[in-house]
Structure 1
Amino acid sequence: MKDATVVVIGGLSGIGRAVAERAAEEGARVIAVGRRTAPADWSKQIETATLDITDEAAVERFFSKLGALDHLVVTSGPVIASSRLTDLDVSAAKDAFDVKVFGQLRAAKQAARYIAKTGSITLTSGLLARKAVPGALVKATMNAAIESMGKTLAKELAPVRVNVVSPGMVETGMWGEMPEAERKAMAAKAGGGLPVGRVGQTGDLAQAYWLLMTNGFMTGAVVDVDGGGLL
């Protein structure tokens, strides 16, 4: 991985940032991509780029300008509230799909033109793909679609490896804005119901993405990093 080129879309915050920092620590050239500018404490070791993955022309331009790469990781996703079917805002659901499902699809499509044959694409789903929870219809169907996408692309794009990481409850900005004390209380309550006794941290997830980038015998896999949440 030393001097390999790694693109992390969603890499300016949360899980994506942890992935970008891990790859940079291991000697890779990392380009962290997001819709906003990098935070003030950003590492000078990691390159950044601004991109809206709902804009296919912009995604195409980004990869065309970048050229050859070795690994693509996509962690970006929308913040969307749970909703019962009868209260569902279908327009908001379409917008969410455009980011998480079609956004990852656009990124994979354009990266596939330039990625090394020994490289990899790692997508991101979530445990609700396989855990039925009332009110989580949109999240469940988005995540299930991504897991199906990953397995299909693992065959279509071979020998490029395509895998999916499925996070459980992870303490990130995806929880939305809330006071720190409230965030910690929510994390403690959620973690208390898991076999491991805590919610995940971004570093826990970064290890899984790193495994999928570096293990040349893994493709078509869905790796659950959920503290036993599916149990």
Structure 2
Amino acid sequence: MQVYFIGAGPGDPELITVKGQKIIKKADVIIYAGSLVNPDVLNVAQDGAEIHNSASMTLEEVLEIIESAVAEDKLVARVHTGDPSLYGAIQEQIDALVEKGIDFKIIPGVSSFLATAASLKREYTLPDVSQTMIVTRLEGRTSVPDKEKLHKLAQHNASMAIFLSVHMIEDVVKELAVEYPADTPIAVVQKASWPDEKKVIGTLETIAAKVKKAEIDKTAMIVVGDFLDTEYSRSKLYDKDFSHEYRTSKTGSQ
């Protein structure tokens, strides 16, 4: 195998997977999404590795480098931020490589919405609160299907992670407020897991002003839902009165 798509994680260079880091260590050619990937992730690259920042490149230029490297029997690491399956523009690269007959593998990574939960010390899926996680974005230069408009997704009152939208925080709040109560908790975490991480917590009524005051306008995750601050039921997984395959109930009830 000569081509690997790698999820570099949310920012902390220690949050890349072991498998992903092994490929970067031995790659001959590295193409990384420089606008988002922490360059420290590449500190393990071997001396002499050819490194390209794709932030200013077109799809065709990226593919040309990959194709040329494969022709020279070189190992290629295509490094994306977080996990490449989320807003990574990876499918068009995959389809092009398939068309060219170039084999590849994908190594998943830790998404920023997961690093955000870790930073906030919260669980998205609390019993009797929400068992559904919605990952989405507000419509911007990239359109969103009508059935996925934010106010329609908000009808579920599920836990929600909103990518690529903090610069439009007022519009996000307006959409969410169609369905969520005004006192619904919401948090914004900029550069989760980076040394200069910044976070603000509020409600739909207060968050826009707090975001502006904190001067957060990019590279941030918005998360909303009662999971941030509410009562919840204990999990059945560790409930002494609940039996399952690995444990018998202490009281005999099911």
* TM-score, normalization by structure 2: 0.33
* TM-score, normalization by structure 1: 0.35
Give the structure with the higher percent helix: 1
